[in-house]
């Protein structure tokens, strides 16, 4: 009986043991299945991250060139040095063991070595090594230095190898360089620390200039040292495309010097110039003064507001009431609609009455009897009020739109303003009168140059633009053009007959009228001056002493090579009108441009 009881107990004990073993087997089986199936991707990735080293290979940013291939912006090969701070402290622990003083000495030694090579303060580097995240863990792979030259990188590599610094990460970096300093500053723009375009052409064409990063993945040991004979995954970086612009450095240089002289002589708030080819819309020069050095964009800048102001390309981004330069649109509309003709007769008593309100001409005693051309030559406000009345607000706004006002031109540049055009239903008789001679509506310099280009180009509109082409260099060093500029906004704004008539009128305005100080014998300069009074603060009325003096024109008028617009904001002195201030600058600019490009109208 006793023996039978012991046998039963042994059998039960065996079942319990077998049950426990079976249970543990199933637990291990399901755990293994969970790790092999459910967690496979995670564990594989973790294992690879611990046994491989991945490095991004930064592409070289494309260069920006002028139309003749001269360098305007380029990138030099520099490097970024980053440290894995967790590994820095692991290294110190291994070196120092449990001796806290030796650990401290090791960290001090690391700081001193990097500070000496990089020209940094030792204490700053030591402080850098102690950076942690919110959980208190040391940061990994953070930059210690950017834009490091190759000679210093060679020293760091030598230090890394000799000291077995497995925590050092060296990556390609780029340093943007503008060889001509302030030259074309607001147009070229700039990049941030990561080489990304943040304003100007650098921003607009950032995607093309940037390129595609490459990648290098190498197997490493537990000390992050590269394993011999290991396979390497390598994808070559694709460098950015080179941007060839329409800018002609010879013309840009001349325009820069003219603007600099005006800043000294007239002490205005700003001087802005744009020069184009009226037949194609190609921008040959663009100047904003005051300017800055894009190699040191923050030099002398105290805050972000000042930075935004000094780097702003006002030729594209700012709108102002254009004044008398806008009269070219009013007269073009009146001619095209058959509301006037060359020998049409007018009389200016010195003012016009609109809905009971008196609007004075700039010449208070009036111009007396005039024909149509005289209105333009004399820049007679009452005469243009009459032309505007004949055209009517609906047709006037129709031509304003055709000429490109009230909307973006499509220029390849960020931050373009649409200007201000009052909607037809809100235009009163008084508004129509002031719009006709260049007040109420506001326009950018790009819009205005587009308008006169249409007149000089047989009535056909061309978009002002910077792009000539984008190109790349292949593996054999051969340059290949991958895309060129395509005109998308071309349209017939006015007939060729009206355009050619207007071009002739504008030539007479310079040779015999208010633009005579821009006259250049034998070159057929056509143009119109403007003196736009700026609105008083608060928007009530205008300040006759606070003006934008301007000149817009082209030459030769019957076969134009260039067109230009000069705007001088708030010039000091008694002489402040466009015919007094801007026209003489236009004369010098035309003359020096034609000398620079070797154009002589007497030689066919």
4-33 pLDDT per residue, tens: 555 556 667 776 667 777 777 776 766 666
Averaged pLDDT for residues 262-287: 97
Q: Is 604 a member of any domain? A: no
Q: Does residue 272 lie in a domain region?
A: yes
| Mean pLDDT within 362-367 | 90
> Looking at residue 77, what is its pLDDT?
80
Task: Decide: residue 51, CB within 10 A, 0-12 exposed, 13-18 middle, 19+ buried.
Answer: middle
The pLDDT of residue 575 is: 81
Average the pLDDT over 84-100 and give the result: 88
Mean pLDDT, range 170-185, rounded to an integer: 90
Mean pLDDT, residues 229-251 taken together: 82
Distance between CA 350 and CA 355 in Å, rounded?
17
Q: How many domains does the chain have?
A: 2
**Are the C-beta atoms of 452 and 460 separated by less than 8 Å?**
no
pLDDT (average), residues 485-508: 96
CB 412 within 8 A of CB 204: yes
**Taking a C-beta distance cutoff of 8 angstroms, is the pair 560, 534 a contact?**
no
Per-residue confidence (pLDDT) for residue 9, from 0 to 100 = 61
pLDDT above 90 as % of the chain: 69
Q: Nearest to residue 434, comparing CAs of 480, 389, 496, 471?
A: 389
Task: Please give the residue that has the higher pLDDT: either 114 or 477.
Answer: 114
Q: Quick check: 49 pLDDT over 50? A: no
pLDDT band at 342 (very low <50, low <70, confident <90, very high): very high
Whether 513 is covered by a domain: the verdict is yes
Active site residues: 324
pLDDT of residue 533: 81
Residue 417 banded pLDDT, cuts 50, 70, 90: very high
What pLDDT was estimated at residue 535? 73
Look at residue 51 in the predicted model and tell me its pLDDT. 52
pLDDT of amino acid 54:
60
Q: What CATH number does the domain containing 462 carry?
A: 3.40.710.10
Dump pLDDT digits (tens) for 231-240: 556 677 788 9
The secondary structure of the chain in percent helix, strand, coil, rounded to multiples of 5, reads: 40, 25, 35
Question: For 141-156, how does the pLDDT look when each residue is reduced to its tens digit (9 = 90+)?
Answer: 889 998 899 899 999 9
Residue 176 lies in a domain: no
Boundaries of domain holding 439: 249-296+305-597
Summary mean pLDDT of the chain: 89
* Residue 284 included in any domain: yes
Which residues are within 8 A (CB) of 296 and not within 5 positions of it... i.e. 6 or more apart? none
Residue 475 confidence (pLDDT): 73
In a domain, 429, yes or no: yes
Provide φ and ψ at 596, rounded to 5°.
Answer: -65, -40
């Amino acid at each position: 009986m006793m023996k039978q009881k012991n046998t039963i107990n042994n059998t039960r004990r065996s079942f319990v043991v077998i049950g426990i073993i079976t249970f543990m087997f199933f637990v291990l089986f399901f755990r293994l299945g969970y790790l092999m199936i459910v967690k496979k991707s995670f564990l594989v990735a973790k294992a690879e991250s611990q046994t491989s080293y991945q490095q991004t290979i930064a592409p070289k940013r494309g260069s920006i060139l002028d139309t003749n291939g001269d360098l305007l912006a380029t990138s030099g090969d520099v490097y970024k040095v980053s440290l894995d701070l967790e590994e820095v402290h692991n290294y110190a622990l291994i070196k120092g063991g449990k001796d806290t003083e030796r650990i401290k000495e090791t960290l001090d030694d690391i700081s001193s070595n990097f500070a000496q090579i990089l020209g940094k303060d030792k204490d700053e580097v030591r402080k850098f090594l102690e950076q942690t995240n919110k959980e208190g863990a040391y940061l990994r792979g953070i930059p210690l230095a950017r834009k490091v030259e190759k000679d210093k990188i060679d020293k760091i590599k030598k230090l890394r190898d000799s000291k077995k610094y497995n925590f050092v990460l060296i990556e390609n970096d780029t340093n943007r360089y503008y060889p001509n300093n302030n030259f074309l500053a607001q147009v070229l723009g700039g990049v941030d620390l990561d080489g990304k375009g943040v304003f100007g052409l650098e921003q607009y064409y950032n995607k093309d200039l940037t390129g595609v990063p490459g990648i290098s993945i190498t197997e490493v040991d537990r000390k992050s040292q590269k394993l011999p004979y290991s396979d390497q995954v390598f994808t070559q970086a694709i460098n950015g495309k080179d941007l060839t612009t329409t800018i002609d450095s010879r013309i840009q240089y001349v325009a820069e010097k003219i603007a600099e002289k005006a800043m000294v002589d007239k002490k205005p708030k700003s001087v802005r110039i744009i020069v184009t080819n009226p037949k194609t819309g190609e921008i040959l020069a663009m100047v904003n003064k005051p300017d800055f050095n894009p190699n040191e964009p923050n030099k002398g800048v105290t805050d972000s507001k000042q930075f935004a102001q000094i780097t702003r390309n006002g030729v594209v981004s700012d709108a102002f009431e254009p004044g008398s330069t806008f009269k070219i649109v009013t007269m073009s509309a009146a001619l095209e609609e058959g509301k006037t003709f060359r020998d049409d007769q007018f009389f200016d008593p010195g003012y016009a009455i609109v809905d009971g309100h008196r609007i004075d001409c700039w010449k208070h005693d009036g111009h007396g009897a005039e024909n149509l051309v005289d209105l333009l030559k004399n820049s007679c406000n009452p005469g243009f009020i009459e032309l505007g009345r004949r055209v009517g607000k609906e047709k006037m706004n129709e031509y304003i739109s055709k000429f490109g006002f009230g909307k973006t031109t499509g220029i390849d540049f960020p931050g373009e303003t649409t200007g201000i055009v009052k909607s037809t239903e809100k235009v009163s008789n008084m508004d129509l009168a002031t719009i006709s001679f260049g007040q109420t509506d506001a326009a950018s310099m790009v819009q205005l140059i587009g308008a006169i280009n249409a007149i000089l180009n047989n009535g056909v509109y061309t978009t002002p633009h910077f792009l000539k082409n984008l190109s790349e260099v292949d593996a054999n060093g051969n340059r290949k053009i991958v895309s060129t500029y395509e005109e998308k906004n071309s349209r017939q704004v006015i007939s060729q007959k009206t355009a050619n008539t207007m071009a002739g009128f504008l030539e007479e305005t310079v040779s015999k009228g208010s633009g005579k100080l821009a006259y250049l014998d034998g070159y057929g300069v056509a143009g119109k001056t403007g003196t736009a009074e700026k609105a008083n603060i608060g928007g009530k009325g205008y300040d006759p002493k606070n003006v934008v003096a301007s000149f817009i024109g082209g030459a030769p008028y019957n076969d134009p090579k260039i067109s230009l617009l000069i705007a001088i904001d708030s010039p000091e002195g008694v002489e402040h009108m466009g015919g007094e201030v801007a026209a003489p600058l236009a004369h010098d600019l035309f003359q020096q441009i034609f000398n620079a490009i070797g154009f002589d109208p007497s030689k066919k």
